[in-house]
Amino acid sequence: MRVSLCFVFAGKAGCCTMLITRIELENIKSYRRVSVELRQGTTAISGSNGAGKTTLVEAIGFALFDYLPYNRDQFVREGEKSGKVIIHLIGGDDRPYTVERRCGSGARWIVYDKEADMRLEQKADVLDKLHEIFGIDRERPLDSLFRDALGVPQGTFTAIFLDSASKRKQTFDALLQIEDYKTAADNLLETKRYYDEQLRTQQSTIERLEFETRDLESWRTQLNEARQLDTEQKQHNIRLSEDLVNKEEHKQQLDEQAARLNDLASQQREAQAHHDYAQTTLRERIQATERAQAAHDIVQGSAADYSRFQQANETLRRLRQDASQRDTLRQQQAIHNNTQTQIMARIQNFQDRLSEITIAQQKVVALAPLVDQQSELEQQHDEIRQQVQRHEEVIAQGQKLSTQFKSLRQQQEECQLQISAIEPLIPLAQQLDERNERFNQLRIQISQRDEKNSQLQTKQKQLQAYQSEQVQLGDTLRKAEKNIQLIEANRNEAAELPTLQTERERLIARGSFLDGNIEGYARSRAQSAGGQCPLLNESCLNIQQRGTGSLEAYFENLLVAEKEERAKVLNEQNTIDQSIRKIKPYAEALLKYDMYVVKRDNLARDQQRNTSECERLTQEIATLTQELEQLTQVEQLRRESEQALQESKQADLKVRELNALKTRNEHLQQQSEQLESTLQELRTEATRLKGSSEQLQQITAELSRLNDPRSQSREHRSIIAREAQFQQQLLSEESRLAEIKQQLQSVDAELLRYSTLDNEIAQQEQLSQQSEAGHRQYQMHINEAQTLEQRRAASQQQQQVTDEAAEHLQTINLAHQQAQHNFDAQELFDLRAEIDNLKSEQSRLIQQMIHHQERINQLELAIQEAETLRGELVTAQQEFQTLEDLQKMLNHFRNLIKEAAPFVLRAMLADISAEANRIFGEIMGDRSAQLSWHHDYEIILRRQGVDRSFAQLSGGEQMSAALAVRLALLKKLSTLNLAFFDEPTQNMDELRRMNLAEQIRRVRGFDQLIVISHDDTFEQGLDSLIRLNKISGETQIADEDGVLPSAELGQAWQSAGVSAGSQSSQSSNSAQTAASLLQTTN
């Protein structure tokens, strides 16, 4: 069975003229490295099953459309880490592009624009560029377009149209993006929820603001009362402040006298403390002078021991350095002695090795004759071993040929028996054509009967559906007419809406103006409290001329007038809002009046069409029932005809083998005679080589007795070869031994200088111990002895400071007694009590004033906030109304989007149906039938007033209809001029395959049409042909006759030779069995 892959090119006006020029695959599935050139016109790519044709389409889908129906690791050739696909194409802009995509390790995706020398490597950029080259919307995924429209997988070409309506809807809704309308409506649902939440929030805000501004008038009354009390408190505070100032001045004089007295008392205490400290310091300095005199006497007595100790320690330091050098020389002496011992051991070892070499030289001379004898025996051994191998090969070949000879005899007998059994079946085989024709006629009648049964069931279901739909259409039509009547009745009221909306906007503007005035007047009133001008911060003299008591009352009157006008505006606005809310539903319905009318007319037409369809289906059901009654006996006749046909087929198959059997019988006879001659020659050669095994055993025994003298001689020669090396190493070690002995003599001479060193160290250590006590006494007292003169001078100075301190203390005592006599402490105490009482009273008054001012501030702030909240309340009410309007408008938009999806789908299906009907007419060569694609994606073929669903069509009609719809769908979705069809002739007989191939060749409007088929139907009438062969798991391109290029052909023969050699080696393993059989034959 052969498979063909066709690329059909034809012109297509108004489309993206894209052309694939070359496909390169490297390590992709069965491809190692191959390049497929594609030319303008029709190109067929053919090969056996599994040759890799579908892989080419998968490679195009993977590289250009990001679609691969399985894991990418399975796309890479087995045993390889990565694979690569390169597509060369001419884009819709007539520019050459190269698309490269790697999978596995180092995966990447590149689009290269040759003219612009631009390379895109980011996946998002690559996808955008491919959308641009193909002329496809960015929102449409390339992979789903390839899977469901462009490159339909094998075996699923017509399957989707035979699925249930829900499955078809799921596939084609996504492809036509019908779900986008539902998605848009769902997205607006979130916005609707947002508006609902905002309305609830705004309503809550309005209720809160109304509650928070309920006490505004009460707060204004309380503010006036608080301001009057504040004025009284301020006057009382002024009187208290004047009395307090007078008493503070007298208190200040008394405080100055008290401070003078305290200052003198403090000076008295300081002078007494200074005098006491001077006497204490004098005593301490006299004692320190005495300690320094004692230390001076001790230092003079221990000076001699201190000098002897210092000299002994310096001598010990020098002697210990000499001891360190002596120890270093002793270590060098030990190292040289150890090295001398090692060198003498190595010299003895080299002398022993040279003795062994002398013995080896003697043995080599003795083994020379035996080595020559061994070489002669080994040569004889090789010659006889070759004779034994040839004897074994002859025995094995004889066994094999004997088995073949018996097998040929048996096959010849079986072939003769088959010929005798087949010859009587010749008359039965001659009736095959007659019985086949009869069987086909009966099968066609059965097919017609089954088709009519299917049509009958389908039409009965359709009739029930139309009848059910008729009832629903009637109810919907009555509702639509009722809506239209309601809109007509309220048309005049809806026309008043624009006037009311204009008046509402005017009132809102007027209300905003009044709110601004109210806010300004309230702020000015607060700033003019107490009669102060809010601009000049001084009393206003002009306000009384206007007949108003105060500036605050003036602003209060303005506020009352503005608020009354604001309330009137608000009432008018509420009245208009109520009217708008009442009229607005009628106005909105009036905007959709045309849509309601169109919907009613469509429902009326649908109802009339349903009535016609019910009448037509009733008539067709009656006709089909009558035709089925005439075909009741055809099944029994078909079974009888099929049994007779099978007998003739079996006889025909056996008769076809008769000539081949006779030819084979003659060929077996010739092979038997040739094998018998070859066996005789092998017997003669086996007799000549019969005694070679005994000779081989004898020579092998002689070689064993010699015990391999060549290996022994080779070992001794390897020992002799190292004689010069050992002699040189012996001389080197003897020279090094002489150097070590000389170094030892030098070290011994240096060590003689340190023979008395230990005695000298012991004498100096004894001298240091004897003078150590005096050395310690000297170090302990030397520092204090050196301060004797300094301490004597400090004692004399401290005596003079002590006398001065006593004189200053006497002067301070006299001044303190005079100040204490002039000061009255009781008068100051009483004055302080009076001042404290005045301050306490004023403090209480100030706290009361602060509390009153805080209350005034709170009231002013509360009033200001309440007035602000009143403005926010008006704004919140306006915002609430705006949100209500937006919510209604949003609901209107969502309803329009929901209702638009079916209309858009009908329009798209109408366009696709028109194009599909045109393509179907070209394919079938018959335009009498009308093909349409309905809203549930059901394909309907109407011929002579009779509708048939896709399931009721014949296999050829189904394939042609699916082909037409898919091509029309592809034109609708993109401007591509490329299409793929995998196995379009699957499950078709030869006649239908040829018809479909001819129909596909009639398709116009596509530059490249790629078809995969399990036969050679599409290889006829093409511009070029590429054949694929798979050799040893690798797909290669053959020439027009299916022959591999010479390199691949040699590789194939080499593979076959390796296989044959393997079988030969397996046959040689049974040599002993063959030998026994050949001897029996002799």
Confidence band (pLDDT; 50, 70, 90) for 1073? very low
**Is pLDDT at 62 greater than 70 in this prediction?**
yes
Helices 303-422 and 709-720 cross at an angle (nearest 10°) of: 150
Q: What mean pLDDT comes out for the span 833-845?
A: 84
Q: Which of 406, 369, 451, 309 is nearest to 668 (CA)?
A: 406
Q: Supply the pLDDT for residue 102.
A: 93
Confidence band (pLDDT; 50, 70, 90) for 581? confident
Residue range 1007-1060, pLDDT digits in tens: 777 777 666 666 665 666 778 888 888 888 875 444 444 434 334 333 333 333
Average pLDDT, the chain: 77
Residue range 765-824, pLDDT digits in tens: 788 787 777 788 777 888 887 888 888 888 888 888 888 888 888 888 888 788 777 777
User: Hey, what are 782's tokens?
Assistant: 């030397």
Q: Supply the pLDDT for residue 97.
A: 93
Among 27-36, 72-81, 1019-1028, which stretch is predicted with the lowest mean pLDDT? 1019-1028
Q: Which of 658, 510, 483, 656 is nearest to 576 (CA)?
A: 510
Q: Supply the pLDDT for residue 298.
A: 81
Q: Supply the pLDDT for residue 63.
A: 92
Decide: 1019 and 44 in contact? Cβ < 8 Å: yes
Distance, in Å, from the CA atom of 913 to the CA atom of 919, rounded to the nearest integer, reads 10
Residue range 433-491, pLDDT digits in tens: 787 777 777 777 777 777 778 888 888 888 888 888 888 888 888 888 888 887 777 77
Confidence band (pLDDT; 50, 70, 90) for 1071? very low
Q: What mean pLDDT comes out for the span 171-190?
A: 73
Residue range 221-260, pLDDT digits in tens: 888 888 788 778 777 887 888 788 888 888 787 788 788 8
Among 390-404, 743-757, 824-838, 1045-1059, which stretch is predicted with the lowest mean pLDDT? 1045-1059
1023: part of which helix (H) or strand (E)? none
Distance, in Å, from the CA atom of 37 to the CA atom of 721, rounded to the nearest integer, reads 70
Please, what's the b/e burial string for 633-671 (b: 16 or more CB within 10 A of its CB; e: otherwise)? ebeeebeebeebbebbeebbebbeebeebeebbeebeeb
Decide: 387 and 1054 in contact? Cβ < 8 Å: no
Q: Supply the pLDDT for residue 989.
A: 60
Residue range 135-160, pLDDT digits in tens: 777 777 888 778 777 666 665 667 77
Decide: 636 and 451 in contact? Cβ < 8 Å: no
**Is pLDDT at 575 greater than 50 in this prediction?**
yes
Q: Supply the pLDDT for residue 994.
A: 67
Q: Supply the pLDDT for residue 409.
A: 82
Q: Supply the pLDDT for residue 86.
A: 95
Distance, in Å, from the CA atom of 62 to the CA atom of 99, rounded to the nearest integer, reads 11
Among 109-118, 364-373, 850-859, 1041-1050, which stretch is predicted with the lowest mean pLDDT? 1041-1050
Residue range 904-939, pLDDT digits in tens: 778 888 888 888 888 888 777 777 888 898 878 888
Q: Supply the pLDDT for residue 1049.
A: 34
End-to-end CA distance of the chain: 51
Q: Which of 39, 35, 54, 53 is nearest to 9 (CA)?
A: 39
Q: Supply the pLDDT for residue 1069.
A: 38
Among 511-525, 546-560, 688-702, 738-752, which stretch is predicted with the lowest mean pLDDT? 546-560
- Is the C-alpha dihedral spanning 940, 941, 945, 946 positive or negative? negative
**Is pLDDT at 560 greater than 80 in this prediction?**
yes
Confidence band (pLDDT; 50, 70, 90) for 423? confident
Q: Supply the pLDDT for residue 84.
A: 93
Q: Supply the pLDDT for residue 1070.
A: 35
Identity of the highest mean pLDDT range in 60-74, 205-219, 380-394, 530-544: 60-74
Q: Supply the pLDDT for residue 1050.
A: 36
Higher-confidence residue of 994 and 514: namely 514
Decide: 936 and 170 in contact? Cβ < 8 Å: no
Residue percentage of the chain with pLDDT more than 90: 3
Q: Supply the pLDDT for residue 629.
A: 76
Decide: 197 and 186 in contact? Cβ < 8 Å: no
User: How many residues make up the chain in this entry?
Assistant: 1082
Residue percentage of the chain with pLDDT more than 70: 86
- Amino acid identity of 315? T
**Is pLDDT at 1 greater than 50 in this prediction?**
no
Considering only CA atoms, give the Rg of the chain.
63
Q: Supply the pLDDT for residue 28.
A: 92
Q: What mean pLDDT comes out for the span 344-357?
A: 81
Identity of the highest mean pLDDT range in 91-105, 340-354, 518-532: 91-105
Residue range 636-694, pLDDT digits in tens: 777 888 888 888 888 888 877 777 887 888 888 888 888 888 888 888 878 877 777 77
Q: What mean pLDDT comes out for the span 71-85?
A: 90
- pTM summary value: 0.38
User: Hey, what are 1065's tokens?
Assistant: 């080696």
Q: Supply the pLDDT for residue 149.
A: 72
Confidence band (pLDDT; 50, 70, 90) for 99? very high
Residue range 499-514, pLDDT digits in tens: 887 888 888 878 887 8
**Is pLDDT at 191 greater than 50 in this prediction?**
yes
Confidence band (pLDDT; 50, 70, 90) for 974? low
**Is pLDDT at 992 greater than 60 in this prediction?**
no
Q: Supply the pLDDT for residue 1054.
A: 38
Higher-confidence residue of 993 and 239: namely 239
Give, in order, the Cα–Cα distances in Å from 684 to each of 80, 687, 690, 696.
55, 5, 10, 21
How buried is residue 596: exposed, middle or buried, by Cβ count under 10 Å (0-12/13-18/19+)?
middle
Distance, in Å, from the CA atom of 237 to the CA atom of 849, rounded to the nearest integer, reads 9
